Structure 1
Amino acid sequence: MSPGSLSTEGVDPSTPANADTVSKAEALCQIITPVGMLGYGFDENLTRKALVDLRQNPTPTALILDSGSTDGGPLKLATGSMTAPRSAYERDLAKLMALSYDFNVPIIISSAGGDGSDAHVDEFLSIIEGIASDDNNKWGNFKALAIYSNVAKSKVLEHLAAGKVEGCGPCVPPLNITDVDDAGPIVAQMGHEPFLDAMAAQPDFNIIIGGRAYDPSPYIAYCAHQAHQVFYTPLKSLTPQQLGGFAFMGKIMECGALCSTPKSSSAMATIYTDGTFDIVPLSPESICTPTSVAAHTMYEKTRPDILPGPGGKLDLSYSQYEQLPDNRSVRVRGALFRSAQELNLPYTVKLEAAKTVGYRTLIMGGIRDPILIGQIDSFLVRVKEFTKQQHSGVTESWDLDFHVYGANGVMGVQEPGDSSYKPREIFLVGEALAPTQKLATSVASSARIACVHGPYPGQRGTSGNFAMGQGGKLEIEMGPCAEFCIYHLMSLELGEEGASPILDSHGSANAAAKGAAPLFSWRVVEFGGQERNIPVSPQPDAAATSSRHGIKRPPTPPTYLNLSTPTKLRDIAPVIRSKNSGPYEITLDVLFSDESIYSLVKLSNLLTPATIARLYNLKEDEIIYCSFYDQAKAFKATIPRKRDGKARPSGGFMETDVHGSQQYAGLLDLELTEDVKIGIARIKYSE
C-alpha cells in the first residue's frame, strides 16, 4: 500500500458489510483487552494463548486497558483514594509487563487509579518501577510514557469567566466559583491527541500510563498511530469512517468482552484500514453475536446512536453487524466520527472533580416486629425528633436519614411498587452527616438509641426494637463524605487538545512541543537501564494450540422467557437492565431476542415516555431520552438520578445504588398491554 492510501473517501457507510468489502482493506492492527478495568484481575493464560496465536502475524498488536470510571462515586477524586487497592494494580501490572516482555507488545493504560489524577499516574509509575527492579524479573530496559490530565483551578476559572464552561447534560447544574474553590484535583478527560503526541515522539515506548481519558481515546490513538507509522497517513487525513471505526471499536473494547454472551472479561479486535473491525471474546465459553455487540452501544450511555466525546460525536446511525463464519466473531462497520470542526462546534473536554461535604457515621440493624414495621415511617420521624432534641445546643449543621431495605431502600421515592406494601422484616441503615466525625457519630448514636428504645403504639416487645451489632459495631465511622461538584464541558482553543513534553532536569524537552499551550503534558520515564532482550515467544501447551476460530459455538444459555402465556415485560425480554450514564443520569435498556416481538412492542403503547414517567414517579418532560434502537432490537430511556425527589449526583449522602444497576427492577413487572399479548399469541400460533 502506498503512503496515504488509507483513505476511504466516498465510501457509503450504509452499504451492507460483507467479506468482499473488508478484503479490499488491509489489517491495520490488533488490540487485546484482558479485562475491562485494570485492578479487577484477569486470566493471564487467555491473553497469552491469544498472543501465541498471533506470533507469526506481522500486524502490530497492543494490550490496551481502561482503569477509570465515575461509577464508584466521587470519593476517589475528593480524597485521593483509588478504585482498587495498590496490591491489585501490582498484580495486574506484573502480568501485563510479563506479557509485554515475552511477546514484545506495548501496553497502554488510561485513567490511572480510577480518577486519572496526576498523583495516581505517578503511583502507577512507582508500581512499575518496583516490578521492573525485582531481582526475579529480567525485564531489561522498560520505557514508560506518563501523560497527565490535571487542570489548574485558575485555568478553569479563566474559562468559566469567558463563558466556555457548561454542564455535561441537562441534569448538571451550572458551575460556579465556589464549586471550583471547594474541589479537590480537577481532571480533564483527554481525547486521543495527547496519546498520539507522546507516541509520535517516543514510538519505541513499552508502556503508557495515561491520566483521565475518554474511554476510547487510547484505542483511537493506537490505531491512528499505526496508520501514520505503517501507511504514513496523518491524523488529519483520516476519514470520518476510519475515525468512527476506531472510536466505536474503543467504545466496545474498553469494557473487555462485556459485549459477548455470556459476558466475559477478555476480548480481541482486529482493525482494518477502512475503519471496519472484528471483535471476538477470548473465553471459549463466550461468543459475540450481532445483537450482543449492537446492544453494547446502549451500555451506560444517554442514547445509543449519538455518543459525544472530546472533539466531536460518534454517529452510529449507520452501524452494521455481521456474524463471521467462526460463529464467535462479529464484524462491525458504518460508524462515523463527526468532528467538532465539521459540526461548527468548539472542541470540548469533560472536567471532573469532587469535594468533601462532611463526615459520615452509620448505624445498621434489623426490625422483625410486624407492629413496628406497619408504622415504620412515623416511627422514624420520632427518631429524628429525639436526635434533634439531643443536639439542640449544637450550632453546626448536620443531617440524618434512613434507608429502609425490604420496603424501598434501593429506589426510594422512585420505587414503582405498591406503596402500602409491608415486608415481613426490614433492614434499617441510618446515615448521619456532620462537619466532624465526632459530631456525626454523636448524631448516629442518638438515632440508634431511639431506634432501640423508642416507644410506638401497640408495642409488645419492651426490651428493644432493633436487632443490631452487625460486625461487632454499634456505630460505624465512615470517614469523609464526598460529592461531585464539577462534571462540566470546557471549550478549548485550537491546539489546547494536545499534550506538551515536560522538561527534564537538564532543561531540555522530551520532544518538540506542537500547537499552542496544550492542556495536557507528558514525560518519559525509563526503568531497568539494561539492554532489552526479547525472548522467543513461548510455545503453548497442547490445549493452547487449538485456534480460537476452530472452537465450536457454545450452547445458547436459557433465557427463561415465558412466550406461551406472557403477562409481564420480563416474560418477553431477555435483558432488562439499568446503569449510570455519568453521575447525574440513570439509563434503562430493554433488549429483545425476537425480531417479531420487538416490532410488536415498538408499534404498541407498552414502552413510552408516559410509561417511564409513571413507573419512576417522574413528569414526562423530565425524561432525557426515550426511543427504540433497531440495530439492537432494543428500547432505551434515560432519566435523571434523584434522591428524595431532588436531582442529585451519585455517591453522596444517602446514596443507595452508586452504579445505578438496580434501577431496572420497576420494569420487570410491567404489565403487558392486551395488544401485545394478542400479538405474541398470533406469532406463536403462526410458528
Structure 2
Amino acid sequence: MTKQIKYLSPTGVLGVGFSEDHFMAALSPDLAFIGCDAGSTDGGPANLGGNKPFFSHGAIKRDLRILIKGARKVDIPLMIGSCGGSGGDWNLNWVWEIVQEIAREENLHFKTAVIESEPDRELLLQKYREGKFRALDPAPEIDEDTLRDTDHIVAMMGAEAYQEALANGAQVILAGRSTDAAIFAAIPVAQGFPPGLCWHAAKIMECGGAAVVSMEKPEGMICTITDDYFELEPVSPTQSCSPLSVAAHALYETGDPYMMREPGGVMDLTHARYESSSERTVRVSGSAFHPEPYTVKLEGAKKTGYRAMVLGGVRDPMILGQFDSWFGGLQDSIRNNIDAVYGESMAGKYRIDFKLYGHSGVLGSREPTLGQTPTEVGVLMVSQAETQEVAYAIAGQAAHMVLHHTVPEWQGLVSNLAFPIAPHFWSLDPAYQFVLNHVVELDHPLELHRIRYEEI
C-alpha cells in the first residue's frame, strides 16, 4: 500500500466562514490533522500596531466551534496560524480566550499549545548588532531605535514551532504570526514525506479551496500526499480543480511563481507537473525544496499619528473637463488655507493623501485612460497629524475647500462635491506604518518563539 498522509483545510482564513455540512462530510478517521490560516498583512499594519482582530468575536467563534468540535470528534490535531489576524500577542490571547469559551460551553477537554511570536526586543537588538539582519526589497532604513520603539514586532515562525508543540502532546495549537504554509507543512515534513511536495501542497492549502476553477464562496480542500505526488480535492461537491486552476495558484501572493522562500529553504516549482486525476481532482508532482540558512521574516508596525477623512463625488462636466488643473489648484488652496490657520508651526507636521476613484485612484500614473474625461470622480482625502483634533480640523477645512473650489466658467458660490453620508468628514483610528521588511538569521528555529501549554 502506498504510504500517504491526508489532511483538511476548511477555509482560506478563519472567520470568513465555510459550509458546516461540507466540513463535517469531509471529516474522517484517516485525516492526520486540520489546519487553518487566520491572518495576513493584506489589511495593512493597523491590526498589528493597534491590537485589532481581522474579524469579529462572533465570526471567529462560529468557525472555531465547528473546527474544535470536529477535530476532537475524530481525535486529530487542529492547528491555527497567525491568530487574530496579525498574530501579535494580544491577537493570539484574544483567540485563546475564545477557545476557552467554546471549551466551557461544549464541555471539551484538550491540551492547547499557545505559541507567541513577538520576540524579546533585547534578543532582536543582539541579532542586529551581530549582523544577522538582512533587508528585503524594498526595505526602510532601520537602526536600534526602530527595534526599541516600534509598537509591535512579530517573527513569522516556520514549521518547527508546530512540530515542537505536537511532540509535546498539543491537540489544539494556537500560533502567533506564522508563514501560512508552515501550518500545513509541519506534520507531513516531520513524517518524512518529500519536502518539495509538502511545502508546495501547503502553499496551496493555506488558502482553503481557493485553487478551484470557480470559488463561488469560501470552502475547503483535502490534500493527500504520497512519496511521489500530492492530490487536491475540494470539499464542496459542486466545486472542482483543474490543472490550470492549481498551477495558477503559484501566481498568488508571490514575486516569483517558481521560487518561494520559507524559513529554512526555498520551494522550487520549476519542474512541477499538474494533471487531472479525476473530474474534480488534480495531481501534482515534481516539486522540490532547497535548504538554506534558517531565517524568519520580521513585521513591525509603528504608530505615526492620527487620521480623519473626507469622501465625496464630482459629477459636474465643466469641472471634469479640466479636472487635473482644477484638482491641482484645489490642493494649493487647501495648503494655503491650512498655512493661514496654523502658521509656519504646522509645516511638516501634517499630510493629506488623495485618491481619485474613476480617475486614477487604483493605478495612479499607470492608469491607461488618463487624459480621457470621466463621467464622475470619487474624491477621497485622508488627513494625518500628530493629534486627532488637528487631523479632524484639517479634514474639515479640506472638505470645505473642495466643496467650493470653482473653475473659470462658474461665477458666484458653487457646491461641486456630493457627500454620500453625514457628517461629511470624520475621524479614523490612529495611523500605523510597517517599519520592517527584513529577515533575521537564527541559530535555532525556535529562538524567537515561546510556547506555553494550557490544559482545558
TM-score (norm 2): 0.94
**Equivalent of 2:316 in 349, 352, 369:** 369
- State the 1:152 CA deviation: 2.1
Alignment partner, residue 197 of structure 2: 245
Counterpart for residue 216 of structure 1: 181
Q: Secondary structure at the match of 2:80?
A: strand
The residue type paired with residue 426 of structure 2 is I
Distance 2:104 2:412 in 1: 65
- 1:445 to partner: Cα distance: 1.0
Rounded to whole Å, the distance in 2 between the matches of 1:311 and 1:430 is 43
Residue 243 (structure 2) aligns with: 290
Pick from 48, 51, 67 the counterpart of residue 24 of structure 2. 48
SS in 2 for 1:467: coil
Q: Within the alignment, does 1:69 sit opposite 2:73 as a pair?
A: no
1:59-84 deviation per Cα after TM superposition (whole angstroms, max 9, x unaligned): 34211101111111111111111111
The answer to whether the 8 Å contact 1:307/1:313 transfers is yes
Question: What is the TM-score when the length of structure 1 is the normalising length?
Answer: 0.63
Report deviation, 1:461. Answer: 7.5
Equivalent residue number for residue 154 of structure 1: 122
Which structure's relative contact order is higher, taking Cα pairs within 8 Å and 6+ residues apart?
Answer: 2
Q: Which secondary structure state, in structure 2, belongs to the residue aligned with residue 98 of structure 1?
A: helix
Q: How does 1:172-187 map to 2 (within 5 A)?
A: 172-187=139-154
Q: 2:84 is aligned with what amino acid?
A: G
Give 2:3's aligned residue. 26
- Mean CA deviation greater in 35-44 or 423-432: 423-432
Partner of 1:521: 450
Equivalent residue for 2:211, pick from 259, 267, 290:
259
Residue 595 (structure 1) aligns with: none
- Offset of 1:356 from its aligned partner? 1.3
Give the alignment partner of residue 436 of structure 2, picking from 467, 472, 486.
486
Q: What stretches of structure 1 of length at least 5 have no aligned partner?
A: 1-22, 228-237, 341-345, 499-517, 528-687
CA RMSD, aligned part only?
Answer: 1.7
Contact 2:196 / 2:288 at 8 angstroms: preserved in 1? yes
Give the match's secondary structure for 2:142.
Answer: coil
Shift of 1:211: 1.1
Letter in 1 for 2:166: M
Deviation readout 1:596-648 (Å, 9 max, x if unpaired): xxxxxxxxxxxxxxxxxxxxxxxxxxxxxxxxxxxxxxxxxxxxxxxxxxxxx
Q: Deviations over 1:237-272 (max 9, x none)?
A: x4xx71111111110100011111112521001122
What residue is the counterpart of 1:466 in the other structure? 417
Residues 518-597 of structure 1 aligned to structure 2 (within 5 Å): 518-527=447-456
**Is this contact kept in 2: 1:116–1:213, CA < 8 A?**
yes
1:396-439 alpha-carbon deviations (Å, 9 max, x no partner): 41112321111111111222x13211112211111111111111
What code does the residue aligned with 1:156 have?
L
CA deviation after TM superposition for structure 1 residue 353, in Å: 0.8
1:347 to 275, 294, 297: 294
Change beyond 3 A, Cα 1:363–1:413: same
- Residue 303 of structure 2 aligns to a residue in which SS? strand
Aligned to 1:73, the other structure's residue is in SS state coil
Report the Cα distance in structure 1 between the residues aligned to 2:412 and 2:266, rounded to whole angstroms. 62
SS in 2 for 1:482: strand
One-letter amino acid matched to 2:89: D
Q: Deviations over 1:184-209 (max 9, x none)?
A: 2211111111111111121xx32110
**Gaps spanning 5+ residues in structure 2: where?**
none
Alpha-carbon distance in structure 2 between the residues aligned to 1:408 and 1:519 = 42
The one-letter amino acid of 1:398's match is Y
Cα offset for 1:371?
1.1
Map of 1:268 onto structure 2: 222
What does residue 419 of structure 1 align with?
Answer: 370
Identity, % of aligned positions: 31
Q: 1:104-130: CA deviations, max 9, x gaps?
A: 232111110111112222111110111
1:142 and 2:110 aligned: yes
Task: Report the secondary structure of 1:194's partner residue.
Answer: helix
- The residue that corresponds to 2:260 in the other structure is 307
Q: Deviations over 1:480-505 (max 9, x none)?
A: 11111012110112xx212xxxxxxx
Contact 2:113-2:454 at 8 Å conserved across structures: yes
Superposed CA deviations along residues 257-298 of structure 1, whole A, max 9, x for unmatched, are 1111112521001122x1621111111221111121111112
> Does 1:86 pair with 2:57?
yes
What code does the residue aligned with 1:46 have? H
Q: Distance in 2 between matches of 1:380 and 1:310?
A: 47
Does 1:112 pair with 2:62?
A: no
Q: For residue 176 of structure 2, what is the amino acid of its counterpart?
A: G
Query: Any conservation in 2 of the 1:245–1:334 contact (CA below 8 Å)?
Result: yes
Distance between the aligned counterparts of 2:304 and 2:355, measured in 1? 20
Q: Tell me the secondary structure at the aligned position of residue 329 of structure 2.
A: helix
**Contact kept in structure 1, 2:138 and 2:437, CA below 8 Å:** no
Separation (CA, whole Å) in 2 of partners of 1:62 and 1:301: 26
Q: Give the secondary structure class of the aligned counterpart of 2:421.
A: helix
- The one-letter amino acid of 1:166's match is R
* CA distance in structure 2 between the partners assigned to 1:480 and 1:286 by the alignment: 42
State the one-letter code of the partner of 1:186.
Answer: I
Secondary structure of 1:471's counterpart equals: coil
Q: Please, which of 38, 50, 54 is the counterpart of residue 14 of structure 2?
A: 38
Q: 1:292-335 deviations in whole A, cap 9, x for unaligned?
A: 111111211001111111011011112112211x3111111211
Once residues 266 and 481 of structure 1 are traced to their aligned partners in structure 2, the CA distance between those partners, rounded to angstroms, is: 35
- Report how many aligned residue pairs link the two structures: 449
Distance 1:35 1:303 in 2: 24
Match of residue 390, structure 2, among 439, 459, 463: 439
Separation (CA, whole Å) in 2 of partners of 1:442 and 1:322? 60
The alignment partner of 1:462 has SS state of: coil
1:386 deviation in Å? 2.9
User: Could you tell me how far 1:452 is from its partner in structure 2?
Assistant: 1.5
> Could you say if the C-alpha distance between residues 251 and 461 of structure 1 is closer, same or farther in structure 2, counting changes exceeding 3 Å?
farther
Query: In terms of Rg, which structure is larger?
Result: 1
Deviation at 1:460, TM superposition (A): 5.5
Q: Taking structure 1 as reference, are residues 475 and 117 closer, same or farther at Cα in structure 2, changes over 3 Å only?
A: same
In structure 2, C-alpha distance between the alignment counterparts of 1:301 and 1:463, rounded to whole Å: 48
Residue 288 (structure 2) aligns with: 336
Aligned to 1:379, what secondary structure does the other structure show? Answer: helix
Partner of 1:593: none
Matches within 5 A, 1:450-461: 450-459=401-410
